[in-house]
Amino acid sequence: MTLYLVRHAMPAVDPGSDPASWELSAGGRGAARALASKLPKYALLAASDEPKARQTLSPEGERQLVIDHRLGEVHRTEAFDDDFRTLRRRYVSGHTVPGWEPQATVAGRFAAATADCELLAGDRDLVIASHGMAMTVWLDEVIGLADPAAFWADLQFPDLLKVDLPARTVTRLITR
């Protein structure tokens, strides 16, 4: 079994609504359709329960997915302003941010969901669509990223990563 992580495609940003409810933008749907050809054919597809993650793996609702809320983004209270990147970089670097889910909690729920999905996948490959901060926190926990903030900042919308846990490596499969 090979594990792939997908960072969701670009959502339609709506400052008046909860980001957990955002759906993909038109461009995000196009990018999600292009991503589909790069995914392993017979893999188990799993996603967080947020629409942007589900739609990245199944832009038209055409694919069967395992939905797991534990693969969701970091739970947080965050202002909608131009400084969000600075706060997010601090968070993924391991700093405590008041009102944000502790990193250990994120890593633990993500690990549990991944383990459950691996059992469901059996010998098949596993593709998990999730979110940048949650993926980064979990990968830092299980692999030990050299620079989690730089890793997070370098993630694309969408992104496809091949994860080799025993070798402690992450390889990007989408070129810019």
pLDDT of residue 175: 78
Burial of 37 (0-12, 13-18, 19+ CB in 10 A): exposed
- Taking the whole predicted model, whether its pTM rises above 0.85 is answered as yes
Q: Can you tell me whether residue 90 is helix, strand or coil?
A: helix
* Measured distance CA(56)–CA(27) in Å, rounded: 11
Nearest residue to 86 (alpha-carbon basis) of 78, 15, 52: 78
Strand partners, 169: 164
Give the domain range for residue 74: 3-172
The whole-angstrom separation of Cα 38 and Cα 108 is 29
Based on the structure, what is the number of domains in the chain?
A: 1
pLDDT of residue 61: 87
- Identify whether the C-beta of residue 93 lies closer than 8 Å to the C-beta of residue 116: no
| Interaxial angle between packed helices 103-121 and 132-142, expressed in degrees from 0 to 180 and rounded to the nearest 10 | 80
CATH of the domain at 91: 3.40.50.1240
The amino acid occupying position 141 is E
Query: From CA 141, how far away is CA 83, in angstroms rounded?
Result: 26
For residue 99, what pLDDT is reported? 94
**Mean pLDDT, residues 66-81:** 92
State pLDDT tens for residues 32-68: 999 999 999 999 999 999 999 999 999 988 899 999 9
Would the pLDDT of 141 be above 80? yes
**Residue 80's pLDDT band (boundaries 50, 70, 90)?**
confident
* Percent with pLDDT over 70 in the chain: 99
The pLDDT tens digits for 81-106 are 778 899 999 999 999 999 999 999 99
